[in-house]
A and B are shown apart, each in its own frame.
Chain A
Amino acid sequence: MDSIANGEVIDIPLLQLLIAYFFVLILILIVRKQGIDKEKQIILAATRMTIQLVLVGFLLEYIFEMPHPGITLLILIVMEGFAIQNIIARVSTELSFKMKKVTVISMAAGTVFTLFFFLLLVIGLTPWYYPRYFIPIAGMIIGNSMTGISLGVEYLVNQIKKDPQKIEAALMLGASLQQATKKVANQAFYNSILPTINSMVGMGIIFLPGMMTGQILSGVDPLLAIRYQIAIMMGILGSVTLTTFILVKLGVRTYFNERMQLTFNDD
């Protein structure tokens, strides 16, 4: 009890960790009993999670011991790459090459700007590439931006394809490209930021955010933990805002050529 009171972390011995897998067993039993026929998928998911996390654990341990700007940047690039690939795979319609390019540009520009703004000005991290801070914060910013941008792209692409008449009707009256696409662009933007806004509303009452919980569990004073949580939420909000704003602004342009003609709609 003394060590807990002193803010030390309780170790989880391997045997006890194995006990946690009990819950996977319960799920498999239920699934089997109900004839849901998804045991393989569940076992695969649990195994993947275990292997991935073990690998990441060793990798982080290694990286944390010998911080190097090159390695930190390499990890950033890998994270961005996976996030972008995930966005493109998640959207229900096939994205045009131009739209993929816009996704890459907006993700990279929005997250990198926010990440460095956050690390250098809010946290005051020196050296800037210190991986113990850089990597988890980059992960949260990129992950949330990925979710936001996926929602934005999904709405934008489907809505323009579904209702090009409305855009053309505005162009017929002399509207600029921005005016004609304003409504759909605004809604796409709103859809993107909505999950972040909602999670801010519920935070602290409906749920304790993961990062704060993690910090508290590892002995950080709750008052410091909430400072980090507030700061990171602002960072996430900033990044989601920037990435999706760039996406929406550049994204609508991909549907028009230099003559302001809707390019996919030429019949």
Chain B
Amino acid sequence: MYKLKDIAYKDILAIKELTLGHEKITSISGPSGGGKTTLLRLLINFISPDRGKIYLKDKALENYPPLELRQQVKMLGQNPIMFGNTIEEEFEMAAEFARQRGYAKKQYQNLLARVNLNKKLTASSTELSGGEKQRVALARLLLLQPEILLLDEPTASLDTENEKHILHYLADYALEEECRIIMVTHSPELTNSIADQQIIIAEGSLKEDYHGFDS
């Protein structure tokens, strides 16, 4: 899906060649400050490389109208941001942002159950703990069924049990919804059990690419 050709962004990241998103789940790991988040931000076109090109389905990112690109690719940042007052409003706002209306409350409830969050839809979303917010933000994103999901440490604030649960759910989701997931992870040992492609980024460059496609 994505092809990166000789890209560089400031002195944060430089990648000669990389193909990713061809497999269901790609994990990106490496020490913090190494450029992992920058890579995700490049992929959703929040920033543009100073040099080189990024292609999505053989079309350069800069040739996509921004909204069309972000219709296909959606992202979850490291800090879950709440938009509404209740959990229900979080789902509604996400649907509104994506211009995808007409969901039923039942779907919200199902998603909450899938991310292992036992809360009512009427519960306040701003008073949740960090880990709970992260799960609401993930559920809200999964509702939209994007083609490509970029996740920046989606399990960072979760305990190991919940982390395992979410990772397995993501693996199922990718399969059921035919969605590609590219996720930055802080715990590669857990994530790699579900990842089809593993990438390591350190000091701004690619270290290993176990199952990368030759392009």
Interface residues of A (CB under 8 A from B): 165-166, 168-176, 179-180, 259-262, 266-267
Q: CB-CB < 8 A to B77: which residues of A?
A: 165, 168-169, 172
- Whole-angstrom distance between the alpha carbons of A166 and B44 in the complex? 16
7 contacts between A and B (CB under 8 A): A165-B77, A165-B81, A169-B81, A173-B74, A180-B97, A260-B70, A261-B46
Report yes or no: B45 in contact with A179, Cβ–Cβ below 8 A.
no
- Whole-angstrom distance between the alpha carbons of A262 and B77 in the complex? 15
- Whole-angstrom distance between the alpha carbons of A174 and B101 in the complex? 13
- Give 1 or 0 for each of B59-75: 1 = CB within 8 Å of chain A CB: 00010001100110011
Report yes or no: B67 in contact with A176, Cβ–Cβ below 8 A.
yes
State whether A174 and B76 are in contact (beta carbons under 8 Å apart), knowing that A165-B81, A259-B45 are contacts in the complex: no
Q: CB-CB < 8 A to B83: which residues of A?
A: 166, 169-170
- Whole-angstrom distance between the alpha carbons of A173 and B66 in the complex? 12
Closest residue of chain B to A257, judged by CB? Answer: B48
Q: CB-CB < 8 A to A180: which residues of B?
A: 97
Report yes or no: A173 in contact with B97, Cβ–Cβ below 8 A.
yes
Report yes or no: B48 in contact with A261, Cβ–Cβ below 8 A.
yes
User: Quick check: is B184 within 8 A (CB to CB) of the other chain?
Assistant: no
State whether A266 and B47 are in contact (beta carbons under 8 Å apart), knowing that A165-B81, A169-B81, A174-B98 are contacts in the complex: yes
- Whole-angstrom distance between the alpha carbons of A171 and B66 in the complex? 10
- Whole-angstrom distance between the alpha carbons of A168 and B77 in the complex? 9
Closest residue of chain A to B95, judged by CB? Answer: A173
- Whole-angstrom distance between the alpha carbons of A256 and B75 in the complex? 19
Q: Pick the contact of B81 from A166, A179, A262 — CB < 8 Å?
A: A166
- Whole-angstrom distance between the alpha carbons of A84 and B92 in the complex? 41
Report yes or no: B45 in contact with A173, Cβ–Cβ below 8 A.
no
State whether A172 and B67 are in contact (beta carbons under 8 Å apart), knowing that A165-B77, A165-B81 are contacts in the complex: no
Report yes or no: A173 in contact with B46, Cβ–Cβ below 8 A.
no
Interface residues of B (CB under 8 A from A): 10, 12, 44-48, 62, 66-67, 70-71, 74-77, 79, 81, 83, 94, 96-99, 140-141, 144, 146
Q: CB-CB < 8 A to A170: which residues of B?
A: 83, 97
Least CB distance, A183 to chain B, in whole angstroms: 8
Report yes or no: A173 in contact with B67, Cβ–Cβ below 8 A.
no
Report yes or no: B97 in contact with A174, Cβ–Cβ below 8 A.
yes
State whether A172 and B76 are in contact (beta carbons under 8 Å apart), knowing that A259-B62, A260-B66, A261-B48 are contacts in the complex: yes
Q: Pick the contact of A179 from B46, B47, B79, B96 — CB < 8 Å?
A: B96
Closest residue of chain B to A256, judged by CB? Answer: B66
Closest residue of chain B to A177, judged by CB? Answer: B66
Q: CB-CB < 8 A to A176: which residues of B?
A: 67
Q: CB-CB < 8 A to A166: which residues of B?
A: 81, 83
Least CB distance, B137 to chain A, in whole angstroms: 8
Q: Which 3 A-B pairs have the closest CB atoms?
A: A260-B66, A175-B97, A169-B81
- Whole-angstrom distance between the alpha carbons of A165 and B46 in the complex? 12
Q: Pick the contact of A261 from B12, B47, B71 — CB < 8 Å?
A: B47
State whether A179 and B97 are in contact (beta carbons under 8 Å apart), knowing that A169-B77, A169-B81 are contacts in the complex: yes
- Whole-angstrom distance between the alpha carbons of A267 and B12 in the complex? 9
- Whole-angstrom distance between the alpha carbons of A262 and B47 in the complex? 8
Report yes or no: B45 in contact with A172, Cβ–Cβ below 8 A.
no
Q: Pick the contact of B99 from A168, A169, A172, A174 — CB < 8 Å?
A: A174
Most chain B beta-carbon contacts within 10 A, residue among A166, A171, A174, A262 = A174
Report yes or no: B44 in contact with A173, Cβ–Cβ below 8 A.
no
Report yes or no: B79 in contact with A165, Cβ–Cβ below 8 A.
yes
Report yes or no: A260 in contact with B67, Cβ–Cβ below 8 A.
yes
Q: Pick the contact of A171 from B10, B46, B62 — CB < 8 Å?
A: B46
Closest residue of chain B to A169, judged by CB? Answer: B81
Report yes or no: B45 in contact with A174, Cβ–Cβ below 8 A.
no
- Whole-angstrom distance between the alpha carbons of A173 and B98 in the complex? 6
- Whole-angstrom distance between the alpha carbons of A37 and B71 in the complex? 63
Q: CB-CB < 8 A to B62: which residues of A?
A: 259
Report yes or no: B141 in contact with A173, Cβ–Cβ below 8 A.
yes
Report yes or no: A261 in contact with B45, Cβ–Cβ below 8 A.
yes
Least CB distance, A237 to chain B, in whole angstroms: 31
